[in-house]
Amino acid sequence: MNVRTPLVALGDGAAAFLAIGTAVTVALATDTGFSAIVGLPAGLLVGIGTGLFAYVALSRGVTARFRRLLGSMAITGYVVVGLLAAWNLSATVQAAITVQEVGLVAAVTVVVAYLTLLVPER
């Protein structure tokens, strides 16, 4: 285990929290006014579970392909959290991008990060 293991686990948990929390909240938004009350705890539980799973899996040793998958998911979690933080703190960023575009950036980040991690280390 090195310093990357908890950082990857934290990033994976953040990505899972954002994905599941958003999906559940949006899915319930038309049915109930309290969709965030259900969506955020669901995302939190899945995020914690994903982070713990990633930590245990990386601590015990996984295949290179699975390690790349966890790494690309962690990078996506950090990118999306950074974008959302910038979006909330800056009116200029809010004018430049929408929350839907943040989702598009997340999808592109997963693909680019995974492909970048495919390049062999020298």
Quote the CA–CA distance of 11 and 16 in Å, as a whole number.
9
Quote the CA–CA distance of 66 and 51 in Å, as a whole number.
14
- Distances in whole angstroms, Cα of residue 112 to Cα of each of 32, 68, 121: 36, 12, 16
The whole-model pTM stands at: 0.76
Q: Are 47 and 57 in contact (CB under 8 A)?
A: no
Q: Which of 113, 1, 118 is nearest to 55 (CA)?
A: 1
Q: Are 42 and 26 in contact (CB under 8 A)?
A: no
Q: Is residue 26 helix, strand or coil?
A: helix
Q: What are the pLDDT tens digits along the chain (122 aa)?
A: 688 888 888 888 988 888 888 888 888 777 677 777 777 888 888 899 999 998 998 888 888 778 888 888 888 888 888 888 888 888 887 788 777 777 787 788 878 877 777 776 55
How big is the chain by its Cα radius of gyration, in Å?
A: 16
